[in-house]
Amino acid sequence: MRKKTNFTLTEYILCSALVIGIFLLCLCVGSVNIPLKETWNVILSVFGIEEANSRVYYSILINVRIPRIMSVGLEGAALSICGAGMQGLLRNPLADGSTLGVSAGASLGAIIAIVFGWNFDFFIGDTTMIMAMITAYASLMLILTIAYKLDYSLATNTIILVGVIFSMFAGSLISLLITFAHDKINTIIFWTMGSLAGADYSDVLSLTIALVVCSFAILRHADELNAFAIGEDNARNIGVDVRRTKLVVLIFVSILIGVCVAIAGTIGFVGLVIPHISRMIFGPNHKKLMPASMFFGATFLMLTDLISRTLFSPLELPLGVITSLIGSVVFVYIFYKSREVR
C-alpha cells in the first residue's frame, strides 16, 4: 500500500477543529469571561442569523477579541511556515525566519518609520508596514549579494554567517535610533517585545493576504525542500534548480516576515520550535510538515496570547516575552530528547 505523502482530509479536519476550538476558548476567556453560549450568539449575529443578547459582549468580541485573536493565529501560522521553510532550505535545525537577519532588517525599517514619525496610509498598509517590507526585502538582497560575492554557489553556511553578521549590524543601528528617540522610547521598546494588543481588521486583512500568497508560493516548493534534505549537490543532480528555489523561498519568507514584524513587532521562537514539534508528529516530509506547522503555530500563539493577557490580569505581558520564555524551555527539551534518541 502506497504511503500518503500529502495532508489527508482527516488530518485537515482534525487540525482545523483544534484551531477552531482554541479560537473559541480565547474568545471566551479574558479580563471579562464570556459564556460560550453568548460568544456563539454574537458570532451568529454577525451573519444575521440571531440577534446579540448583550451589547457589552458584542462590543468586546467584535471590536477587540475577534480581530486580535485572528491576527494572533495568522501571525503564528506565518512565522511557523517561515521557520519550516528556512529549516528545510538551509538544512539547519536552528534556522528560522530571523536566521538570515530578515527580522532584524524588518524591525530596523519599522523603527525608522516610528522614530521619524512617518505616518502615511497606503492601499496595502501604513508606513510602518511598508518600511518593514521594504527593509526586509532589501536586507535579504544585501545578504544574498554579499554571500554570492563570497561564495558563488550561495552555500548555506555562507548565507547563515552573513545573516548573523547583518543581524548584529541592524541591532546596532536600532540601538542608535533608540538613543535619539526620546519620547518614543517606550513605544519602540514595547513594540520590539512583540504585541498584538491593538490589532484591528485591517491587520487581519494584511496578514491574510500575505499568508495566502506567500504560503502558497512556499508550499509549491515542498518537493524541492524535500530534495534539499539529501544535500544541495544531490538535489541539483536530480534536476532541482537549487539557486532558483533558494531565491524564491527566501524572497517570500522575507515578505511574510516583513508583514509580521510590522504588525506585531518581534516575536521569537515560534518559527524555531513549532516546526520541530510538527516534525516529531508528522515526519520530515515538507508536504505535511509545512501545513502542520501552520496549524500548530496558530494554536501555539493563540494560547500564548491568552496567557499573556490573563496571567497577571489586568496587566498584560508582551507576547514576545511569553513566546521566548516558553519557546526556549521547549526547545531545550526537544534538543535534549533528540540527543537521547541518537
Peptide bond into 314 cis (omega under 30): yes
Q: Could you tell me where the beta strands, DSSP code E, fall in the chain?
A: 121-122, 125-126
Cell 490589532: give the residue.
199
Cβ atoms within 10 Å, residue 152: 10
Instruction: Domains for the chain: give ranges and CATH numbers.
Output: 9-341 (1.10.3470.10)
Helix (H) or strand (E) holding 170: helix 156-179
199 near 71, Cβ under 8 Å? yes
262 near 270, Cβ under 8 Å? no
Q: Which of 282, 257, 255 is nearest to 270 (CA)?
A: 257
Torsion of CA 230, 236, 240, 243, to 10 degrees: 110
Question: Alpha-carbon distance 316 to 93, whole Å?
Answer: 32
Phi and psi at residue 161, to the nearest 5°? -60, -50
pLDDT tens, residue order, the chain (342 aa): 345 577 788 888 999 999 999 999 999 998 889 999 999 988 888 887 777 778 889 899 999 999 999 999 999 999 999 999 988 888 877 777 777 788 888 888 888 888 887 766 554 456 777 888 888 888 888 988 888 888 776 677 787 788 889 989 998 998 888 888 777 787 787 777 888 888 889 889 989 999 999 999 999 999 999 998 888 788 888 888 888 888 889 889 888 988 898 888 888 889 888 998 899 889 889 999 999 999 999 999 999 999 998 888 778 888 888 898 888 887 787 777 666 555
All 3 cell numbers of residue 74? 495568522
Question: Alpha-carbon distance 238 to 227, whole Å?
Answer: 8
- For the packed helices 242-264 and 66-90, what is the interaxial angle rounded to 10 degrees? 150
Cβ atoms within 10 Å, residue 10: 8
